[in-house]
Amino acid sequence: MSVRIQEADFDTAAEIAAMRRGNPKIGAIASFIGVVRDINDGDAVSMMTLEHYPGMTERSIGAIIDQARGRWEVLDALVIHRVGTLKPTDQIVLVVVACSHRGDAFAACEFIMDYLKTQAPFWKKEVTPQGARWVDARASDDEAAGRWRN
């Protein structure tokens, strides 16, 4: 299980290969990649900066992975989240979950991402033709995380 917060880009294939290496129990790997779009709330986005709360970020994502491990049979999990300045088409976040079977892998990957969106302390500030603005949290993200509370 691993959590990395970094400015640098990531190589999904290399990360998955590293996770698979020497672990013959793995039968399914699900991954999610979040990418910067060039539009948000109807405005063109030319750039964004991601701020976070060092320490709490790693701790909160670690806790989310622990919750996922309590619900599904997770053999390994990796979350990489970028911070700093990003532009459209840049990768922002990678979640990789390795399990014995696909059902657990798909569910745990989606769960980690839904919780990361609503609990991990990151904030986006985007640059549009109207100037720079802090991105507002979305109610739909709260609803997505709420689906898992049962």
Partner 1 sequence: MSGATVTLLYFARLRESLGLAREEMLLPAGVQTLQVLRAHLAARGGAWAEEMAPARKLRAAVNQTLAQGDAPLKAGDEVAFFPPVTGG
Which residues sit at the interface with partner 1, rule CB under 8 A?
34, 50-53, 55-56, 59-60, 81, 92-93, 113, 116-125, 134-137, 141
Q: How far is the CB of 124 from partner 1 (least distance, A)?
A: 5
Query: What is the residue-wise DSSP string for 127-143?
Result: EETTEEEEPPPPHHHHH
Q: How far is the CB of 27 from partner 1 (least distance, A)?
A: 27
**Tokens of residue 71, six digits:** 């619900």
Q: Residue 38 or 51: which CB sits closer to partner 1?
A: 51
Q: Residue 60 or 76: which CB sits closer to partner 1?
A: 60
Q: Residue 2 or 91: which CB sits closer to partner 1?
A: 91
**Tokens of residue 49, six digits:** 């900066």
Edge-to-edge strands of the sheet including 47-52?
84-86, 47-52, 122-128, 131-134
Q: How far is the CB of 79 from partner 1 (least distance, A)?
A: 10
Q: Residue 102 or 138: which CB sits closer to partner 1?
A: 138
Q: How far is the CB of 101 from partner 1 (least distance, A)?
A: 26
- Give 61's Cβ-side CA count (13 Å radius): 27
Q: Report how far residue 53's alpha carbon sits from residue 69's, in angstroms, rounded to the nearest whole number.
A: 24
Picking from 136, 123, 144, 125, the residue whose alpha carbon sits closest to that of residue 32 is 144
